[in-house]
Structures are given as structure tokens and as C-alpha cells.
Amino acid sequence: MRARDLMSAPVITVQPCTSAKEAAGLLSAHGFTALPVVDDDEGLVGIVTEADLIRGRIPVDARYAHERHEAIAAGKKVGDLMTSPATAMSTGADVADLCRALVDARIRAMPIVEGSAVVGIVTRGDIVRVLAREDTDIARDVKHRLEIYGGSGRWKIDVLDGCVHIADQFDDDTDRHVAQLLALAVPGVVAADTAYAGQERNR
């Protein structure tokens, strides 16, 4: 599965000159955790997250404060708060690599680019939703892809907790390898194996 199969698009972006308040409004309205920051040519220049927007933005309640606190910088722009440069991945990136990058870098959202232009975004939530897909939905999508490749009535498909088992009516190693690759590209599939149905019947 590739980033293009999972990303949200079109993606809502902001510019460095966007106010922190406007960016916070976009995050709140859409339930996002981060917004890519782009220049006038739609090239990625940074990313602004919920953490960036709340850091130092809420005033201390003076009635209960026992220490001096720095005054909050009011009216800041996204360009003052964003992380730059931002990590991004291409539309063809393997989702397994994308997951690893999200976890290793402890980030919640990954901008997806073609060249330098932002074309989508993938969040941890997007990946969790894919992993939560119903087995019946996964089986339907695997069956559809295999029927396009090798015709209907040829494949028996069983799915349990995202693990796909494909039994092929024909004894063809090459076709079974292709079938496995096609299944692994279906969102929600965590593993896939194939077998010749005749061998299974003879066991």
C-alpha cells in the first residue's frame, strides 16, 4: 500500500502569514492535528501542529499565579510557530515506511508531496482507521482486484483480522505471487498468503 492510497486530499494548507488564530480555527473546524505550511507556489515550507499553536498561548490565571510568567505573544503568525523544514514523503512511499517515520519522529501527521507541492496528508488516525476496516470489506476489495486480474470464480478468499488467505483454482506460482501483491495493496490488509486449492483439498 502506498501513501497515495491512504492520504487525505485535497489538503487544507496555510501560509506563513496566516494568523495563529485562523490556523487554530481550521484545526478545530476540521478535526485536524496539523496543517502543512506552503509558500505562494504551493511548495512545502513547514508544518504547524496543535502543540505549536497552544504553546504559551493561554494566559496564566493571575488570581492563582505564584510566579512571574512571560507575557503571551499575541497575534503571532504561523511562520513564527511552525516547524521548518517539515518532514514529507512522496505519493509513492510505502505506508510501512510512512508508519515507521511517524512513530520514530513522534509526529502525528505526514505531508505527502509530488516534487515540492503538497498534494495530501496522512495522519496516525488515518492509519488506525485502515487497520480497523471490517474483514468483509477487505475481502470484497481483494476479490475485486483478483477478479480484474484473473477472472471470477477462480479465487477463494478468507480474511481474519486483516490476514488474507487466497486459494487459487489454478496451479500457477506466478499468478499466486501477483495475487499476493495485489492483496497486500488493499487498505487494511496486514498479511497475505496464497495456496493452490487442489493441494488444500488433497490434505
91-147: pLDDT as tens digits? 999 999 999 999 998 888 999 999 889 999 999 999 999 999 999 999 999 999 999
Please tell me the predicted confidence (pLDDT) of residue 1.
85
Q: Would the pLDDT of 16 be above 90?
A: yes
Task: Please name the helix (run of DSSP H) or strand (run of DSSP E) that holds residue 71, with its range, or none.
Answer: none
Where do you find CATH 3.10.580.10 in the chain?
3-131
Contact criterion met (CB below 8 Å) for 163 and 191: yes
CATH class in words for 135-201? alpha beta
Could you report the per-residue pLDDT of 39-86, keeping only the tens digit for each?
A: 998 899 999 999 888 876 665 666 665 555 555 555 589 999 999 899
pLDDT at residue 170 in the model = 92
Q: What are phi and psi of 124, to 5 degrees?
A: -55, -40
pLDDT in tens, 154-185: 999 999 999 999 999 999 999 999 999 999 99
The x, y and z cell numbers of residue 175, run together, are 499468478
Give pTM, 2 decimals. 0.74
Rounded to whole angstroms, the Cα distance separating 86 from 24 reads: 19
Class of domain 3-131: alpha beta
In this prediction, what percent of the chain has a pLDDT beyond 90? 66
- What pLDDT was estimated at residue 55? 77
